[in-house]
Homo-oligomer: A and B are copies of this chain.
């Protein structure tokens, strides 16, 4: 991860990758991403050694962005349920307002180009959310389940919820709440 000259160009590539992956999938040519970024195809490889490197970096960036969006404005004093709902709403809002990022992240998440290391790092960025979740379920029926299981379920319910919010934006808020309630029933 050498520090290349132009941070600007690097982010142009990353942003282009989001758009291109969202619309064409992970099979999209690097040349297309470079073009979308307004950069020569060869230049992409000065910023990311391989296509897989770009994907891993993008994965991490999106994870981090999502995590940070989720925690924004967290009411520190509120009870767990309120805090959790705040985080949940933030996540849903981020997904709905950045559908391309969400789609790209979804694709990356199931790709086998993403290394275990990246996945681990990705989970770390979500540590704040996980901690909340940890406490939320502390006295509930899933108190003894592996944490990873709980996280997976939350993600899964979250994904389903996002899909419905995007498909039916008029009722986005309702879907968001319904999803959260279902999750809360499952774990708390």
Contacts and interface: CB of A to CB of B under 8 A. Distances in A.
A64 interface: no
Interface in A146-188: 146, 148-149, 152-153, 156-157, 159-161, 163-164, 168, 175, 178-179, 181-183, 185-187
Interface string A84-113: 000000000000000000000011001010
- The copy count of this chain in the complex is 4
Contact of A141 (B153, B157, B160, B185): B185
A179 to B, nearest CB: 8
The interface residues of chain A, by DSSP majority, are classed as helix
A76 interface: no
A57 interface: no
Contact of A186 (B110, B146, B175, B185): B185
Q: Which of A40, A106, A152 counts the most chain B CB atoms within 10 A?
A: A152
A120 interface: no
A128 interface: no
A181 B110 contact: no
Contacts of A159: 152, 156
Give the top 3 A-B pairs by smallest Cβ distance, nearest first: A156-B156, A152-B160, A182-B186
Interface of A: 2, 25, 27, 40, 42, 106-107, 110, 112, 141-142, 145-146, 148-149, 152-153, 156-157, 159-161, 163-164, 168, 175, 178-179, 181-183, 185-187
14 contacts: A27-B27, A106-B110, A110-B110, A142-B178, A149-B161, A149-B175, A149-B178, A152-B163, A153-B156, A153-B157, A156-B160, A157-B186, A182-B187, A183-B186
